Structure 1
Amino acid sequence: MKKITVIVVDDSALIRKLLTEIINSQSDMEVIGAAADPLAAREMIRELNPDVLTLDVEMPKMDGLDFLEKLMRLRPMPVVMVSTLTEKSSDVTLRALELGAVDFVAKPKIDIASGLKEYGSEIANKIRIAKSARLKRNASPSVTKSATADAVLPSIANRIASTEKLIIVGASTGGTEAIKEFLIRMPPDSPGILVTQHMPEGFTKSFANRLNSLCKISVVEAQGGERVLPGHAFIAPGHSHLLLKRSGANYMTELNQGELVSRHRPSVDVLFRSVANCAGKNAIGVILTGMGKDGAAGMLEMQKSGAYNFAQDEASCVVFGMPKEAIAAGGVNEVVSLKDMARSVLSKISSMGSHGNRV
């Protein structure tokens, strides 16, 4: 089998060396070039034609974003960003995903050498995903434990009746842009929305803030204990599962730092299970682009509890993994393109009747 060829671009000689060692230790990939700045990288790309590029954010001679923008316009190719876990870097990384980067890896803040080695599996997996991802023009640490939502939240059959409608969204690779495209179309009076996107802790707040600046609705990183109101979206923080719970007649957010589920925390399965437990037919489920099967079991539980579920279609996904698994599990009612997702969801809610709060 032909190996995945990679060019590493980073101004740090140490990072270039470590990334090269990590990538070359994998049997299915190899580094064919390492550049200290975008100008050197440009010549290597022309000469070597790699399958995937790893790209630092802050570099000399040319900013990583400027280089990425030119690259995606003139010579689109799969790019994995390598970024530090800082607020400034997280904002820049989100912009890189908007420009077309497939995914990112968060550099450890301290002890970079040992930290990057610990993230070796994550780096390799994201390179593999990037190689097969669909490109568009314009975080989570690797874990080995896999559990189901049972590890965090039991399934229950008794649900309190309510008429308040909710939209529940799960995504992973490619999800930051898909979620933005979905939420930006939500009207100010849309039903309350809960979102789980696989993303490290240092990035979810910046992600929520960026969405809030672009959307008609209010978007925040969930803190736990908030009342879920129309016109508001809550993003799962990178350190905790996001759950829906009932408090009397109201829906509330809850955070839980329990076991990793489907190898993730936050997990889509846990969010979907909580919605199946306490919202049932008042929920609309949406599963977007992403690698793996997190959300498939939970979406089926939502459907069995009476929820109506949508999956993003293959053509508009960066990675058709999570939607494909949810469809195969039988929990999806409709498969819709990303550009039509918001309209389809709002149309379904309209057919269900009033979505305003009932208190």
Structure 2
Amino acid sequence: MTGTAPKDPVRVLVIDDSASIRIAFKKLIAEDPGLEMIGAAADPFQAAEMMRERLPDVLLLDLQMPRMDGLTFLKKIMSQRPMPVVVISSFTEAGSRASLRALELGAAEVLAKPRIATAEDRREAAIRLCDAIHAAYQSGRGASGRGTRRNVARLRALAPGERFSADVILPPMAARPGAGPPMIAIGASTGGTEAVREILESLPVGLPPIAVVQHMPEHFTRAFAERLNALCAIAVKEAEDGDVLVPGQAVIAPGDRHLVLRRDGRTYRTELRAGPCVSRHRPSVDVLFRSVAQAAGQGGLGVLLTGMGDDGAAGMGEMRAAGAWTIAQDEASCVVYGMPRAAEELGAVCQTLPLDRIAREIIARSGRDDRKAAS
């Protein structure tokens, strides 16, 4: 990603009770010249004192802290002075549930505590952390949970690191495939947890199988899938290797694994793959979309939602070239209009729609005109 950088670095305040984590964040943030860590607080009370002197552009907030937990502080911030927040949580089940609650309260991004045992761990942690901070800043997300996007014409180059295409996980198509059984693929990033929820909640049972890549850390996607399963008419689960996809079901790509679909007669099976980040993400929307282009061809339907960067744009182009119908969320309803815009610029989009019309279009394109279910 290239483009115009903000004139001044994005100011970041870290709130975490662990001194070692605060030091680690300082080193990781220093990897990106477009970021400036203006302070580190051990708890929300200390952070509040620091914010009286100088307001940050983005808060990096731990959820598990003594004296006042991160969720309580997040509620106070969003009610008194909404600002972009990236929450940091543990891998525990309780941490995953708290992270989803933080996103509902208006946090822009969720990250797991970084692993920096090796040079590769450090490189990936720097990319994920710095990209998440920039995404939060671009969203300007506050208490409403909707973006008040910053006036930045282009997404800047972010943390250093080599970029890989989907080729490192799945070779490109040798020839255009025929039409496979109907299949729906959805990709999303910043702001996507609520966008995906809104769409899946509006879908009736009986539609073709659905595969979703939402950029989230490992372990957190299981809690996300469980929450959706409790809210939706369709069944929702975190994908496992070898799952047979069935109508009326959606699978969520697990964090830290790429999701590939393979045709198996008249059905599809999932493959979970390790490997490098693709388009700076694992799981990557580009990998899912390429696999759907190859397996479903004209039977595919691709949806690209809010998110920073360009993950999914190239894969959506391959889906369209294979004869699939492709839909991008429009700028006005995106928290961050990055991924859909990149797809538009590549000519990969058949149709651009506001978020509240996408479910109805999926139903109509899938042979169901159940507008009552989508209202």
TM normalised by structure 1 equals 0.88
2:177 is aligned to 159
Q: 1:79 to 1:260 in 2, by over 3 A?
A: closer
1:176-233 deviation per Cα after TM superposition (whole angstroms, max 9, x unaligned): 2221222111112232100112222222222211221221111111112222111100
- Structure 2: gaps (5+ residues): 1-6, 145-158, 371-375
Quote the Cα distance in structure 1 between the aligned partners of 2:31 and 2:297. Answer: 47
Q: 1:225 to 1:54 in 2, by over 3 A?
A: same
Quote the Cα distance in structure 2 between the aligned partners of 1:306 and 1:118. Answer: 35
Alignment counterpart, residue 47 of structure 2, candidates 18, 41, 44: 41
* Deviation at residue 324 of structure 1 after TM alignment: 0.6
Alignment counterpart, residue 267 of structure 1, candidates 284, 301, 306: 284
Alignment counterpart, residue 258 of structure 2, candidates 241, 256, 264: 241
Q: 1:29 to 1:147 in 2, by over 3 A?
A: closer
Quote the Cα distance in structure 2 between the aligned partners of 1:27 and 1:188. Answer: 48
Q: 1:232 to 1:73 in 2, by over 3 A?
A: same
Quote the Cα distance in structure 2 between the aligned partners of 1:314 and 1:171. Answer: 14
Quote the Cα distance in structure 2 between the aligned partners of 1:280 and 1:134. Answer: 38
2:94 is aligned to 88
Contact 1:107 1:116 (8 Å CA) reproduced: no
Q: 1:308 to 1:240 in 2, by over 3 A?
A: same
The answer to which of 153-162 and 126-135 deviates more is: 153-162
Contact 1:242 1:253 (8 Å CA) reproduced: yes
* Deviation at residue 238 of structure 1 after TM alignment: 2.0
Quote the Cα distance in structure 2 between the aligned partners of 1:152 and 1:29. Answer: 31
The answer to which of 222-231 and 102-111 deviates more is: 102-111
Q: 1:44 to 1:259 in 2, by over 3 A?
A: closer
Contact 2:84 2:142 (8 Å CA) reproduced: no
1:42-73 deviation per Cα after TM superposition (whole angstroms, max 9, x unaligned): 33334322211110101122221122122112
Secondary structure of the structure 2 residue equivalent to 1:245: strand
Contact 2:245 2:267 (8 Å CA) reproduced: yes
1:320-354 deviation per Cα after TM superposition (whole angstroms, max 9, x unaligned): 1111111111111111112222122222323799x
Contact 1:289 1:317 (8 Å CA) reproduced: yes
1:252 is aligned to 269
The answer to whether residue 209 in structure 2 is matched with residue 192 in structure 1 is yes
Aligned CA-pair RMSD = 2.7
Q: 1:220 to 1:25 in 2, by over 3 A?
A: closer
Q: 1:158 to 1:50 in 2, by over 3 A?
A: closer
1:357 is aligned to none
Q: 1:149 to 1:14 in 2, by over 3 A?
A: closer
* Deviation at residue 74 of structure 1 after TM alignment: 2.2
Alignment counterpart, residue 113 of structure 2, candidates 102, 107, 114: 107
Contact 1:309 1:331 (8 Å CA) reproduced: yes
2:9 is aligned to 3
Q: 1:276 to 1:96 in 2, by over 3 A?
A: same
Quote the Cα distance in structure 1 between the aligned partners of 2:116 and 2:8. Answer: 35
Secondary structure of the structure 2 residue equivalent to 1:190: coil
Q: 1:74 to 1:347 in 2, by over 3 A?
A: farther
Alignment counterpart, residue 346 of structure 2, candidates 310, 329, 350: 329
TM normalised by structure 2 equals 0.84
Output aligned runs, 1:165-244, within 5 Å: 165-244=182-261
* Deviation at residue 292 of structure 1 after TM alignment: 1.6
Contact 1:145 1:260 (8 Å CA) reproduced: no
Secondary structure of the structure 1 residue equivalent to 2:110: strand
1:88-124 deviation per Cα after TM superposition (whole angstroms, max 9, x unaligned): 2122112211211111231147869x96686234322
Alignment counterpart, residue 290 of structure 1, candidates 282, 307, 328: 307
* Deviation at residue 76 of structure 1 after TM alignment: 0.9
Quote the Cα distance in structure 2 between the aligned partners of 1:108 and 1:304. Answer: 38
The answer to which of 82-91 and 71-80 deviates more is: 82-91
Alignment counterpart, residue 56 of structure 1, candidates 47, 57, 62: 62
- Structure 1: gaps (5+ residues): 354-359
The amino acid that maps onto 1:19 is F
Contact 1:84 1:108 (8 Å CA) reproduced: no
Q: Percent identity of the aligned residues?
A: 50
Quote the Cα distance in structure 1 between the aligned partners of 2:78 and 2:355. Answer: 21
Quote the Cα distance in structure 2 between the aligned partners of 1:49 and 1:194. Answer: 40
Contact 2:363 2:369 (8 Å CA) reproduced: no
Quote the Cα distance in structure 2 between the aligned partners of 1:118 and 1:267. Answer: 14
Q: 1:8 to 1:152 in 2, by over 3 A?
A: closer
Q: 1:305 to 1:23 in 2, by over 3 A?
A: closer
Contact 2:185 2:301 (8 Å CA) reproduced: yes
Quote the Cα distance in structure 1 between the aligned partners of 2:184 and 2:85. Answer: 31
The answer to whether residue 22 in structure 2 is matched with residue 16 in structure 1 is yes
Secondary structure of the structure 1 residue equivalent to 2:67: coil
1:65 is aligned to 71
Alignment counterpart, residue 132 of structure 1, candidates 138, 144, 148: 138
Quote the Cα distance in structure 1 between the aligned partners of 2:275 and 2:62. Answer: 33
Contact 2:207 2:366 (8 Å CA) reproduced: no
1:15-65 deviation per Cα after TM superposition (whole angstroms, max 9, x unaligned): 233323443564333233322222332333343222111101011222211
Contact 1:156 1:277 (8 Å CA) reproduced: no
